[in-house]
Structure 1
């Protein structure tokens, strides 16, 4: 189905009834990125899957900041009859989930964050904006085939080469199906450099937060351990023999973790 917010039209899939959990994918992904994990999810509530701006079948060009995206998501969920939701976000979707809790704290009941960051210091953020703009320009100039061939080789995804070739091909096809204009829009609107730093906000975030990271994702292990020290009501789950994309590399284990959190949430 599609849900319209202003001039934007979001692709949304709803499965089941009950307490809602919203699932937000990462950069170059779509709602289909969760398919393998969903096979191992034991949860009787409602699943809400959304293609974020610039991705999949969503047509949302009238956004310029991450606040715009978060505000649109809130309006979508209110149209669906929800006044409070849990959020599951991977990478870019994790950044978005973080900011939803920051901008609309009463709207978010619980966070499950996979390979997510609360943002960069200001100097690093400005430099990252430049890098994101360079990448956006490259995508627009050279097209999807060249970009995907480059994107597959970045060190963050090294561990994905251990996955079956059929799975690697599936991920590649999902990336290739995106539009250059869409991914460029995403980098300029929702890239790491566009995310406000939330480090000082963490100590005030009292909702339950589950941090999930692959044990071979060194950068994000360090980030998640730092977040764990600042968050007053958080737990950290490390998954062995897994890199950045936990939901793709270890869908069965990740599905069980998500099920346990949603069925029997922890509380410090």
Structure 2
């Protein structure tokens, strides 16, 4: 698997890999990249189905994505990265850490999850995601409008209109067939569950959840009990997308953790 990517050599000794969320691409992580650039070289990628990385016509799953990221690092002659993943990107980051820990220094999982442990709940989520994929293909603009009204993103409604519009345009710039296909190949309903592997991850991990995101507070609280070296931060004034809703707090906490504070 090959990724559309951008590597910025800022002359630093460490590189950080940024992984974006669903219905966006690497451009959505530019604000984070700007905060971290004084301290790290920057590697951003478009995950399959978004930006310039295709999903359709390719037989792959979550672990193939992790292997593709490993090969990307080899091609760039990068021996190890710190990694930051948001939401869907957090799930990808966790897959990469679990499968290729020797390539990871420190990890930040923002509103991340190890997947769904229960077979029954996973099957239910597969049906949910299949319905979402169908709606994406039927009327992408209407789907985006509905997506923005989800309770998960209600905390974003108080953000400046310019910020909301930038996010909306990034979402609308995606290709519907590609986004829909990605759900069926590495959505939460089909990806492996990594709950049982958390105890084997010996890398320092920062878990971030927004104070207004009750679902992911619960998920990350449980993760923090299972990971051997985890720090959990609940960010006031934010919901699911912490780096957009509370960028200054996000940047301060992430930099402190990554630099070893």
Indicate the residue corresponding to 1:175 in structure 2: 171
Indicate the residue corresponding to 1:187 in structure 2: 183
Q: Please, which of 131, 145, 148 is the counterpart of residue 134 of structure 1?
A: 131
**More off after superposition, 174-183 vs 251-260:** 251-260
Rounded to whole Å, the distance in 2 between the matches of 1:118 and 1:43 is 30
Q: Please, which of 4, 17, 42 is the counterpart of residue 11 of structure 1?
A: 4
Structure 2 counterparts to residues 39-118 of structure 1, below 5 A: 39-41=34-36, 43-61=38-56, 62-118=58-114
Kindly tell me the number of residue pairs found equivalent between the two proteins.
Answer: 257
Q: Does structure 1 retain, via aligned residues, the 8 Å contact 2:26–2:45?
A: yes
Rounded to whole Å, the distance in 1 between the matches of 2:186 and 2:246 is 26
Q: Does structure 2 retain, via aligned residues, the 8 Å contact 1:213–1:220?
A: yes
Shift of 1:211: 0.3
Q: Does structure 2 retain, via aligned residues, the 8 Å contact 1:40–1:252?
A: no
Rounded to whole Å, the distance in 2 between the matches of 1:28 and 1:148 is 9
Q: Does structure 2 retain, via aligned residues, the 8 Å contact 1:43–1:263?
A: no
Go from structure 1 to structure 2 and tell me whether the alpha carbon gap of 1:48 and 1:149 turns closer, same or farther (over 3 Å shift).
same
Indicate the residue corresponding to 1:36 in structure 2: 31
Q: State the TM-score, normalizing by the size of structure 1.
A: 0.91
Rounded to whole Å, the distance in 2 between the matches of 1:91 and 1:202 is 17
Q: State the TM-score, normalizing by the size of structure 2.
A: 0.94
Give the secondary-structure state (helix, strand or coil) at the position aligned to 2:6. Answer: strand
Q: Does structure 1 retain, via aligned residues, the 8 Å contact 2:46–2:52?
A: yes
Q: Does structure 1 retain, via aligned residues, the 8 Å contact 2:55–2:181?
A: no
RMSD: 1.4
Shift of 1:39: 3.7
Rounded to whole Å, the distance in 2 between the matches of 1:115 and 1:12 is 23
